[in-house]
Amino acid sequence: MNTRIQFSDLHLSREIAKAIEDMGFEEPSPIQALAIPLIQAGRDVTAQAQTGTGKTAAFGIPIIEKIDPSRRTVQAIVLCPTRELAIQIAEEFSNLLAHLPRITVLPIYGGQPIERQLRALQSGVHIVIGTPGRVMDHLRRRTLRLDDVTTVVLDEGDQMLDMGFIDDIELILKKVPQNRQTLLFSATMPQPILEISRKFQNKPEFVRVEYAELTVPQTEQSYIEVKEREKLDVLCRLIDMVDPHLTIIFCNTKRRAEDLSGKVRARGYRADELHGDMKQSQRDRVMGGFRKGVIDILIATDVAARGIDVEDVDIVINYDVPQDVEYYVHRIGRTGRAGKSGKAVTFVAPKDFTKLREIMHYAKVQITRMPVPSPSDVAQSRTRGVLERVRETIQAGGLEQFVRIIEEETEGDHSTIDIAAALLKMQMDVGIEPLAEKPGELDFGDTGAESGMVRFFLGVGRQHKVAPKDIVGAIAGETGIPGKAIGAIRILDSYSFVEIPKEHAAEVYTIMKERTIRNQPTGIEPASGKRA
Ligand code: ADP
Ligand code: MG
């Protein structure tokens, strides 16, 4: 097949075609090219494609074309696993609806006051995007009727099953008229998904975008050979060298994601973690921060990051080699999206080489070896960055008054090139640390601890029923430093002190700040010099 399907081949309405153009889509993605004609023909479709391949528009476009705006009833419902996704899908629909203002779409999800959703539903909504739990709530209250629904979408089907939504989904599907069109989208096709398809679809057509196509070709993939204990240092160097705007780092477990997040923050990076056990409100906060660029580094587990769409992720780093080939493909799908180029770097410990070969084989990708970035690599790349900004600043103009200041203040004492060099040196001196040292260690000054230790104040004491073992347990448990490394503990009525070896102090501080001891916020702060 050498002529690719174009949007113009899909006989779309003028309004949708215009919206697609506004959105900057040049041609249908493979899954769109496969699925849209089948959905338009009224078929039930089960589609498998990796995250980031445009599945939303694949069902969104034909759904919108089928809506009759003059009937003020819900005509399509999309079920998806999380609030985050419901919002994202609703946004994509709103964009597709830019020139069809009479068609309305409403995301409904837990955590938002139900009254607001009630009012919106009462005013007449054509397309509902919802999480199964909240949709069930509305069905029970009879505030949502599905009698006129002609299309149902189960998006991220595998994840909804993983999250235990199967019963809700079955109940919801029973409320929708039998002659509906049922569309099932999923990144993977495990047996339970096929079961759902068998039970609820009518002669479904299966479409799938194969691995080779799945991998985003614009993503440059490499690996770094690194021992477990050097991973953190190498990670920081890599980030300093690439100097990405947004980074996603993947860890294999929630525990490792949390640990790494604390350590990376302790080194002064703006990072946060995202894992499956977090409350929805926490996840929203983290994702919001990442989108706005308040956080540059998102440290995630596979499950937590599924389906989340963030634009402009420059680099994906696999801190751990993923356990599963599909996970690899999903992870690197987070970068190089929608035609932009991206990077994916995988950390490979000696024991991981078999897995790496397996990934290359099954995902049909080439992952090339890259050396550990050296300090001079970092320095060079920073220089390039600074000079790049210099060029941009010169191009932007408006330098006259600065030229005057330099002429007046230096009175020709220095050559222009010396001044430029000095400014560059000042920019670069922000510190490129050698690997052996512990870069970015926070200096707590004199905290009145024994030598080699840092003494911390904790805002919990006897009145919170805190005993030494609670403090040791909490710190060792949360940070992974051995309990016996923890030094003197002194418990007073409403507060306590604990001494921590210097090399662990920054880590303990950043992690424990966000944790509790006996259900109380730790209130951890470096102690002041004089011993109480
Ligand atoms: P998926 O549901 O498969 O994970 P999405 O539907 O969230 O993927 O799409 C990922 C991103 O790609 C979105 O930002 C979307 O707007 C964009 N996109 C979708 N289709 C196209 C297309 N044909 N061309 C360019 N970008 C597209
Ligand atoms: Mg999706």
Residues belonging to the chain: 532
Q: Answer whether 54 contacts ligand 1 (Cβ < 6 A).
A: yes
Q: Where in the chain is the domain with CATH 3.40.50.300?
A: 7-208, 219-373
Q: Which residue has the higher pLDDT, 125 or 119?
A: 125
Please give the pLDDT value at position 55. Answer: 92
Phi/psi zone of residue 197: left (φ > 0), alpha (ψ -120 to 50 degrees), beta?
Answer: alpha
- CA dihedral (288, 292, 296, 301) in degrees, to 10, reads 30
What is the 299 CA–ligand 2 centroid distance (Å)? Answer: 20
Task: Name the pairing type of β-strands 342-348 and 315-318.
Answer: parallel
Residue with the nearest Cα to atom 1 of ligand 1? Answer: 52
Tell which atom from ligand 1 comes closest to the C-alpha of 27.
23
Burial 215-234 (b: 16+ CB within 10 A, else e): bbeebbbebbbbeeeebbbb
- CA dihedral (458, 461, 464, 470) in degrees, to 10, reads 70
Q: Report helix, strand and coil shares of the chain as percent, to nearest 5.
A: 45, 15, 40
Q: Which structure tokens are listed for 487?
A: 């030094």
CATH class of 439-526: alpha beta
What is the 497 CA–ligand 1 centroid distance (Å)? Answer: 52
What is the 250 CA–ligand 2 centroid distance (Å)? Answer: 19
The label of the residue with tokens 């080939």 reads 325
Q: How many whole angstroms separate alpha carbon 420 and alpha carbon 416?
A: 6
Q: Answer whether 155 contacts ligand 1 (Cβ < 6 A).
A: no
What is the 146 CA–ligand 1 centroid distance (Å)? Answer: 28
Q: Answer whether 53 contacts ligand 1 (Cβ < 6 A).
A: yes
Among candidates 322, 306, 333, 51, which has minimal Cα distance to 161?
306
Indicate the CATH number for domain 219-373: 3.40.50.300
Q: Tell me if 226 sits within 8 A of 348, measured CB to CB.
A: yes
Q: Answer whether 56 contacts ligand 1 (Cβ < 6 A).
A: yes
Q: How many whole angstroms separate alpha carbon 173 and alpha carbon 165?
A: 12
In this structure, which amino acid lies at residue 172? I
Count other Cβ atoms within 10 Å, centred on residue 95.
Answer: 15
Indicate the CATH number for domain 7-208: 3.40.50.300
Residue with the nearest Cα to atom 13 of ligand 1? Answer: 54
Among 94-108, 207-221, 370-384, which range has the highest average pLDDT? 94-108
Q: What is the pLDDT of residues 101-116, one digit of tens each?
A: 999 999 999 877 888 8
Please give the pLDDT value at position 427. Answer: 73
Q: How many whole angstroms separate alpha carbon 401 and alpha carbon 407?
A: 10
Among 55-59, 191-195, 381-385, which range has the highest average pLDDT? 55-59
Please give the pLDDT value at position 307. Answer: 62
Q: What is the pLDDT of residues 400-449, one digit of tens each?
A: 888 888 888 877 778 888 888 888 777 766 554 444 334 344 678 788 88
Would the pLDDT of 156 be above 70? Answer: yes
Nearest-ligand number for the alpha carbon of 312: 1
Tell which atom from ligand 1 comes closest to the C-alpha of 53.
3
What is the 34 CA–ligand 2 centroid distance (Å)? Answer: 16
Nearest-ligand number for the alpha carbon of 157: 2
Q: Where in the chain is the domain with CATH 3.30.70.330?
A: 439-526
